[in-house]
């Protein structure tokens, strides 16, 4: 399978299926392609790229074409043999571990050389070595050996998960939501108050929990080995288990079902998508973020967050947002170096990074002064224009170094209506996550194709997940229901070979841990 995919990739490159990946002879500018998520492309993508490419040509002799695809679309593209130069990749989009096992991405630790350190020293120095180590993949069976197969996006590398809520509703109801909760059920009184507020004012929304597909991060805190087959370890342990063996995850499913029964969850949640949900309504939201981040500018009302998980350091967290290079670039070192130079620039240059994130200054966003109570300027933040809100909102977390982005603000957070933006949030974040607990399996990569090929089992389990998981995650069914809940799903997954996958993953993990002693 891997040889077939490699041949298809090579053939596609030779035939020039992707015409944008050739070097322009006329002006000697290297043209690169980069696959990003959040399909379809932002309305003003071409306009922003034209502006950005004027800078890239002058500084590093490169033009970039960003192609937006859904995870399914990029998977189909790769399977068809289409070749792009760079890919956003992680555990839940364009699945990283699977593509590493399939030989799709170039190894950046090659022939004893650290290509990032050699070709892009500023990029290497932009992150602690511990982050690079957690981004690495290990395994004797990987097609190009253990190594570094993607550049991590320097952001909330030690995952913390939050529930975002309307702070004004809590204040009006006299409910003090703590900064940190251990159990989701602690929010039940607040959701009741939000439901009452919505009944009094329908403009706030209809359901306190209005979600599409599943609450983001419901399975966070489980230390995944394979999201595809829902296996991993309970954080801190080394015994490979099913996701459903984690009592914390099961408690969240049960709480969602309780909330559904109380009428707090939109009944059509499993049938909706994230993009179909109106984020301006005052329902709670789930997010991976960090202390100090503020959803007030994007949602348009006073938001606060309560943390229910993290921080913790593991490979899944660091590998939760990365950008990889096509293995075909290994046949064109000059172009490979230019692609690396592009990644170095967008990860270390604040001006370029802000353009990539927010669009064209003066058209899609403006820089505004942030003042303290005495009127002294503390720094600057970005405020999106209406054109920016309507025409250019890519996934910033998937692009490049998030920490050098300007902090986003809104008129209401600058004029005193709502609390001002926290300009020091990243410095504070990186200071306290340095002591976050570290996964016991960091660096391990499960090869699901060698020595045993579980591709068929993966496909069957994927189909079962599509049939059952959204209804469980959204609380529509009782997770303990033997016919529709976790027992039924798990029994069918085991019949499809789940226990064999767990056994092989345990064998590979044990060998990996033994090799580290």
pLDDT score, position 139: 60
Q: Of 111 and 421, which is predicted with more confidence? A: 421
pLDDT score, position 92: 83
pLDDT score, position 217: 86
Among the listed residues 283, 284, 124, the one whose alpha carbon sits nearest the alpha carbon of residue 204: 283
* Overall average pLDDT of the 455-481 stretch: 95
- Lookup: tokens for 212: 């599409």
* Overall average pLDDT of the 460-469 stretch: 95
Residue partners of 311: CB distance under 8 A and separation at least 6: 158, 159, 160, 432, 433, 436
Which pLDDT band, with edges at 50, 70 and 90, does 312 fall under? confident
User: Would the pLDDT of 273 be above 80?
Assistant: no
pLDDT score, position 333: 95
Q: What is the assigned CATH class of domain 161-316+360-433? A: alpha beta
pLDDT score, position 5: 43
CA 30 to chain centre: 28
pLDDT score, position 489: 98
pLDDT score, position 278: 79
* Overall average pLDDT of the 26-44 stretch: 90
CA 478 to chain centre: 28
Q: Phi and psi dihedrals of 406, rounded to 5?
A: -65, 150
Which pLDDT band, with edges at 50, 70 and 90, does 145 fall under? low
pLDDT score, position 18: 40
Question: Three-state SS for 399?
Answer: coil
* Overall average pLDDT of the 142-169 stretch: 87
Q: How far is CA 336 from CA 40, 153, 339, 352, 446, in A?
A: 27, 19, 5, 20, 27
Q: How far apart are CA 82 and CA 86, in angstroms?
A: 12
pLDDT score, position 77: 95
pLDDT score, position 143: 55
Residue 516 is given by DSSP the state: H
E strands present in 322-420: 322-325, 365-371, 377-384, 408-409
Q: Please give the torsion angle defined by the CA atoms of residues 214, 217, 223 and 224, in that order, rounded to the nearest 10 degrees.
A: 40
User: Would the pLDDT of 233 be above 80?
Assistant: yes
- Lookup: tokens for 160: 């913390």
Which pLDDT band, with edges at 50, 70 and 90, does 186 fall under? very high
Q: How far apart are CA 243 and CA 478, in angstroms?
A: 17
pLDDT score, position 414: 92
Count of all residues that appear for the chain in the document: 517
Q: Read off the pLDDT of residues 370-409 as tens digits, 9 standing for 90 and up.
A: 988 788 899 999 999 999 999 999 999 999 999 999 999 9
Residue partners of 256: CB distance under 8 A and separation at least 6: 184, 215, 218, 265, 473, 474, 475
Q: Of 250 and 300, which is predicted with more confidence? A: 250
* Overall average pLDDT of the 244-254 stretch: 97
The mean of the pLDDT values for the chain is 90
pLDDT score, position 134: 83
Same fold, 2-153+317-358 and 161-316+360-433: yes
Q: Phi and psi dihedrals of 265, rounded to 5?
A: -110, 135
28 near 309, Cβ under 8 Å? Answer: no
Q: How far apart are CA 192 and CA 120, in angstroms?
A: 53
Among the listed residues 268, 242, 234, the one whose alpha carbon sits nearest the alpha carbon of residue 487: 242
Q: How far apart are CA 313 and CA 435, in angstroms?
A: 9
- Lookup: tokens for 315: 């490979």
Q: Read off the pLDDT of residues 47-85 as tens digits, 9 standing for 90 and up.
A: 999 999 999 999 999 999 999 999 999 999 999 999 999
Which pLDDT band, with edges at 50, 70 and 90, does 277 fall under? confident
Highest mean pLDDT among 155-159, 311-315, 409-413 belongs to 409-413
Q: Please give the torsion angle defined by the CA atoms of residues 158, 164, 168 and 172, in that order, rounded to the nearest 10 degrees.
A: -100
For the chain, what percent of residues have pLDDT higher than 90? 68
Q: Of 243 and 450, which is predicted with more confidence? A: 243
Rg from Cα positions in the chain:
23
User: Would the pLDDT of 182 be above 90?
Assistant: yes
Least confident stretch, 228-232, 247-251, 311-315: 311-315
CA 73 to chain centre: 17
Among the listed residues 268, 266, 219, 156, the one whose alpha carbon sits nearest the alpha carbon of residue 465: 219
For the chain, what percent of residues have pLDDT higher than 70? 93
Domain positions in the chain = 2-153+317-358, 161-316+360-433, 455-516
- Lookup: tokens for 34: 């980069």
Scan for tokens 């439901």, then name that residue.
195
User: Would the pLDDT of 23 be above 80?
Assistant: no
123 near 164, Cβ under 8 Å? Answer: no
Per DSSP, helices labelled H in 33-139 are 45-60, 71-79, 96-101, 115-119, 121-125, 129-135
* Overall average pLDDT of the 465-478 stretch: 95
* Overall average pLDDT of the 169-191 stretch: 96
Residue 179 is given by DSSP the state: S
- Rounded to 10 deg, the angle between the 350-358 and 333-348 helix axes is 90
222 pairs with which residues across the strands?
234
Q: Read off the pLDDT of residues 286-310 as tens digits, 9 standing for 90 and up.
A: 998 888 889 998 898 999 999 999 8
Is residue 226 within a helix (H) or strand (E), and if so which, with residue range?
strand 222-226
Question: What CATH number belongs to 2-153+317-358?
Answer: 3.40.190.10
pLDDT score, position 101: 84
User: Would the pLDDT of 151 be above 70?
Assistant: yes
pLDDT score, position 7: 38
Scan for tokens 């590093």, then name that residue.
60
User: Would the pLDDT of 142 be above 90?
Assistant: no
Q: Read off the pLDDT of residues 421-449 as tens digits, 9 standing for 90 and up.
A: 999 999 888 888 878 888 899 878 888 88
């Amino acid at each position: 399978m891997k040889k077939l995919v490699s041949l298809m990739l090579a053939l596609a490159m030779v035939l020039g299926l992707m015409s944008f990946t050739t070097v322009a002879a006329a002006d000697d500018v290297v043209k690169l392609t980069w696959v990003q998520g959040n399909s379809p492309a932002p309305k003003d993508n071409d306009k922003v790229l034209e502006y950005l490419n004027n800078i890239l040509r002058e500084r590093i002799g490169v033009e970039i074409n960003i192609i937006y695809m859904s995870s399914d679309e990029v998977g189909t593209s790769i399977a068809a043999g289409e070749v792009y130069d760079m890919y956003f990749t992680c555990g839940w989009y364009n699945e990283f571990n699977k593509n590493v096992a399939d030989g799709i991405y170039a190894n950046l630790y090659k022939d004893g050389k650290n290509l990032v350190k050699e070709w892009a020293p500023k990029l290497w120095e932009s992150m602690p070595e511990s982050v690079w180590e957690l981004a690495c993949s290990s395994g004797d069976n990987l097609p190009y050996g253990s190594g570094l197969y993607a550049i991590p996006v320097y952001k909330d590398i030690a995952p913390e998960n939050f529930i975002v809520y309307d702070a004004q509703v809590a204040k009006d109801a006299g409910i003090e939501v703590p900064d940190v909760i251990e159990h989701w059920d602690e929010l039940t009184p607040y959701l009741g108050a939000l439901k009452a507020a919505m009944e009094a004012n329908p403009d706030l929304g209809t359901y306190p929990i209005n979600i599409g597909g599943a609450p983001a991060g419901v399975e966070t805190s489980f230390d995944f080995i394979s999201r595809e087959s829902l296996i991993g370890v309970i954080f801190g342990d080394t015994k490979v288990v099913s996701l459903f063996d984690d009592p914390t995850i099961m408690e969240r499913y049960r709480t969602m079902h309780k909330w559904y029964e109380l009428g707090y969850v939109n009944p059509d949640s499993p049938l909706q998508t994230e993009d179909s949900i109106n984020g301006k309504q005052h329902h709670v939201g789930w997010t991976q973020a960090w202390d100090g981040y503020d959803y007030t500018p994007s949602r348009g009302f006073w938001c606060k967050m309560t943390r229910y998980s993290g921080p913790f350091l593991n490979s899944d967290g660091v590998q939760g947002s990365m950008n990889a290079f096509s293995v075909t670039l290994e046949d064109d070192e000059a172009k490979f170096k230019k692609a690396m130079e592009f990644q170095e620039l967008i990860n270390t240059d604040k001006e370029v990074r802000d353009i990539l994130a927010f669009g064209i200054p003066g058209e899609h966003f403006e820089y505004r002064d942030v003042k303290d109570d005495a009127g002294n300027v503390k720094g600057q933040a970005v405020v999106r224009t209406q054109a920016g809100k309507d025409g250019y909102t890519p996934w910033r977390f998937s692009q490049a170094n998030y920490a050098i982005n300007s902090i986003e603000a809104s008129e209401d957070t600058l004029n005193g209506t709502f609390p001002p933006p926290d300009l020091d949030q990243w410095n504070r974040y990186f200071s306290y996550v340095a002591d976050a607990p570290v996964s016991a399996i960091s660096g391990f990569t499960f090869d699901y194709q060698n020595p045993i090929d579980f591709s068929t089992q993966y496909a069957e389990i994927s189909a079962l997940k599509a049939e059952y998981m959204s209804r469980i995650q959204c609380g529509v069914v009782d997770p303990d229901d033997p016919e529709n809940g976790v027992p039924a799903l798990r029994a069918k997954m085991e019949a499809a070979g789940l226990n064999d996958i767990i056994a092989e993953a345990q064998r590979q993990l044990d060998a990996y841990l033994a090799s580290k002693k």
